[in-house]
Chain A
């Protein structure tokens, strides 16, 4: 009787979740720099279409964590499982390097805080957008160019700028170009490190709107590291608050911001200047 009940519950639970498999499953990630903890005991599941924000002050370990997740840093412990198209959930840490690199230019994307870290500054805007296409085998100039024009349009860069180098672009345009360059292959997971950092407030708003639209239209999942609570409120479904390398609070973004439970989160939220 008990057994039957629990199995029924299990099936109700199971059928309720239309997408039972997470896109990314992170278990027990730890990264140390000698004695110092970069980040520790990080666990979460990210489902298709979900946007998760990671907030915390400088040195809280949020960037370390992001780099571990994206495969830029090797964690000392833990697993980062990604739902690959071919083989289902695979640990990206133990994956062969060619596969991981293939992943990072097809299903994954990484948007850097400084656009120049994510762009080839000596290559035209069109070449920057086309690179990922050529990397996966596109060999028709006209089609690559059409695709680049389409993407420049989507990130609101006039197509007359297609042959200009990013160095001739404003900061906001460079950031939008970086986003186009990353999203052109239709990734499923985007890592963003302070995507609006260093931009004017008016430019930030435009970028946020753009990102929201793209996330919705493409059904993207994203992990956004930022210290800007306004950015996560508008972009992230879920929030993870980090302090000294540890996750101190997680939950729905608006719940964490409006009814913070942990002392540090309360301090963080109450420290934001209201306008």
Chain B
């Protein structure tokens, strides 16, 4: 532990990042440029999220990392280990226990509270990039609130697919002002973004940080005649039976057999544990 400065980054860098975070919180949805550092992992593996987490963590924090909802994937495990080694903080897989949660592509199923911070890893922070490649122009569009182009993207979706086919990174408008990319979370998670916890977004390669203070109004863009719908696979979890959680489709054999399971492993595990406890209790009741 003494081999590293707390949470890996030097104090000056953390200060710079905290300033960017505070500015981001003061202007919800606005992309604040920051001097992203080289991290001991490749771009695309969450360098932005790691830097934001490093600047946010205190020794008392309990840290959780999920990747696509799962605590046990390579990326989640290595980032968790990274902070165990460099910050010595406690880690957990349980959403309710964590104070700082770094995530890639999901919002946990369990509701978050005011004492928690959710840190998103963001690949491309600019929601207008799809249609306007010039950074100078997109910045101007943000500053002048020229967001017609965003609806052109949704228009194209409907024209091509008969419905808004954008299923993840679905653009939102924050507090009636900035249009923001919620990172590649499924649109199923969009309605959860108005929440008690603080949400921070870090894009390492693109050198941008943005943020949502608690209870910020986040509205998914749509058309009057094609309203936004938070959708998920029309199944229930094969393992825990949940019909209200976001599901991953898993191919289980060479015949194309498939099952649907919760993408949030902690949520699924907790439900399964509760079910087996209940079953055990029932069994005890019967045997008693």
Contact = CB atoms under 8 A, between A and B. Distances in A.
The reply, when asked whether chain A contacts chain B directly with Cβ atoms under 8 A, is yes
A127 B150 CA distance: 11
B179 to A, nearest CB: 13
Contact of A139 (B149, B156, B223): B223
Nearest to A140: B224
B156 A123 contact: yes
B159 A126 contact: yes
Interface stretch (A14-22, A60-68, A128-136, A267-275): A128-136
A163 B155 contact: no
Given A139-B224, A140-B224, A97 B156 contact: no
A98 B145 CA distance: 9
A162 B155 contact: no
A206 interface: no
A144 interface: yes
Contacts, number: 53
Nearest to B221: A139
B252 interface: no
Interface residues of A, number: 24
B131 A123 contact: yes
Contact of A124 (B144, B159, B225): B159
Contacts of B4: none
B159 A127 contact: yes
A97 B144 contact: yes
A163 B225 CA distance: 19
B155 A134 contact: yes
B223 A140 contact: yes
Given A97-B144, A126-B159, A134 B225 contact: no
Nearest to B223: A141
A9 B226 CA distance: 61
Contact of A141 (B144, B160, B226): B226
Contacts of A142: 225
A79 B241 CA distance: 71
A113 B273 CA distance: 68
Interface string B223-265: 1111000000000000000000000000000000000000000
A101 B156 contact: no
A127 B144 contact: no
A114 interface: no
Contacts of A122: 131
Contact of B152 (A134, A140, A163): A134
Interface in A81-97: 97
Contacts of B156: 123-124, 127
A130 B144 contact: no
Interface in A128-158: 130-132, 134-136, 139-142, 144-145
B148 A163 contact: no
Contacts of B144: 97-98, 101
B121 to A, nearest CB: 27
A131 B225 contact: no
A120 interface: yes
A131 B146 contact: no
A142 B144 CA distance: 27
Contacts of A101: 144, 146
Query: What 6 pairs between A and B have smallest CB-CB spacing?
Result: A135-B148, A134-B151, A141-B223, A134-B148, A140-B224, A98-B144
Given A131-B152, A139-B151, A140-B223, 16 more contacts: A97-B144, A120-B152, A124-B160, A126-B159, A130-B152, A131-B149, A132-B148, A134-B149, A134-B152, A135-B146, A135-B149, A139-B223, A140-B224, A141-B155, A141-B158, A142-B225
13 contacts: A97-B144, A101-B146, A122-B131, A123-B131, A123-B152, A124-B156, A127-B152, A127-B155, A134-B148, A134-B149, A134-B155, A139-B224, A140-B224
Interface of A: 97-98, 101, 105, 120, 122-124, 126-127, 130-132, 134-136, 139-142, 144-145, 162-163
